[in-house]
Structures are given as C-alpha cells and as structure tokens.
Amino acid sequence: MLQSGEKWFKMSDMQQILLSGEFDHALDPKGRVTLPARYRDHFEHGAVLVRFPDGEPCICVYHPDSWREFDAKYIEPLNVFESEADAWRAREIYTNQDHVEPDRQGRVLLSSQRIKELELVGKVKIIGNRDHLEIWNPDTLAARKAERRGGNA
C-alpha cells in the first residue's frame, strides 16, 4: 500500500519525464497506433492528441498534465475577446484536439480527419520531443529532415 504522498510523488516523476527517441510503428485498419513501450506507463491515464494548425504536419501526443502546462503558457494568454487572430488560433487548436485513453495494448485511436490530412497509412514514425511525442508520416518526416539539411538526404 502506498504511503500518503507516495502516489503524488510517482505522478510528479512521470510529469518530469523527457520524451525522446525515434520509433517505427504501424497504424492499424481501425486507425489505432501503439505508443512506444517505454512510454506506455506515462500515458496510461490518457493522452491529448493535437494537430497545430500552423505547426508541423504531425499529431502531437501530450500527457494531460503537460498539455495543461502548455495551454496555460501559450493558449490561455491569447486575447480571444479583442483579437480575431487569437480567437481563431485558439478555436483551431481546440477543434484539432482529442482526449484519448490508451487501450490495454497501449494503442490510441487517431481521428480519421487527422489520418486523412496527414496521409497516415501503414507505417508511422513516432518521435520524442521533450514534453510530447509526435506521430508522423515517415515520408513527410524524411522530407522535413532533408529540408533542414539543405536538401541533402
């Protein structure tokens, strides 16, 4: 049995985890992708999937606590009442967001809209990016990497 405060300590440790690495996974016919084994415990109580409208062409996977921190830092300060641009930015972010619960195999269901717009089919690439994972079409990620290197693949 956990001592008082022990569960909180373990949860706060999970929030501090740095997500890193590159993983090859598959998108199944139902639109599910398995999260990397090393991070399944981190997301066992849920994940926030978001596609940023003016960001990279991938799905970002946040732990709910990390998403709350991101939201408080970057979205909450937007002036949605006085700035039409801010109002639309917030609207687009929340329209492109899903809260999901991984199943027992660590799979999360991706939105059919995101699958279509990102052309995810068959293999996907999952990369760690500090406080979140990113789910990419492998060809799109390879092209982005080549662009960053000045066109040399």
What b/e readout covers 48-82, taking b as 16+ CB neighbours within 10 angstroms? bbbbeeeeebbbbbbbebbbeebbeeeeeeeebee
The reply to whether 22 falls in a domain is: no
**Which amino acid is located at 106 in the chain?**
G
pTM of the predicted model as reported, rounded to 2 decimal places: 0.85
The reply to whether 98 falls in a domain is: yes
CATH number at residue 95: 3.40.1550.20
Across the range 97-106, mean pLDDT stands at 96
Strand partners, 99: 48
Number of domains comprising the chain: 1
The reply to whether 60 falls in a domain is: yes
The reply to whether 14 falls in a domain is: no
The reply to whether 19 falls in a domain is: no
The reply to whether 11 falls in a domain is: no
Rounded Cα gap, residues 97 and 79, in angstroms: 20
The reply to whether 17 falls in a domain is: no
Q: What is the model's pLDDT at position 57? A: 97
Under the banding of pLDDT at 50, 70 and 90, the label for residue 127 is very high
Q: Which domain holds residue 114?
A: 32-148
The reply to whether 112 falls in a domain is: yes
pLDDT in tens, 24-50: 999 999 999 999 999 999 999 999 999
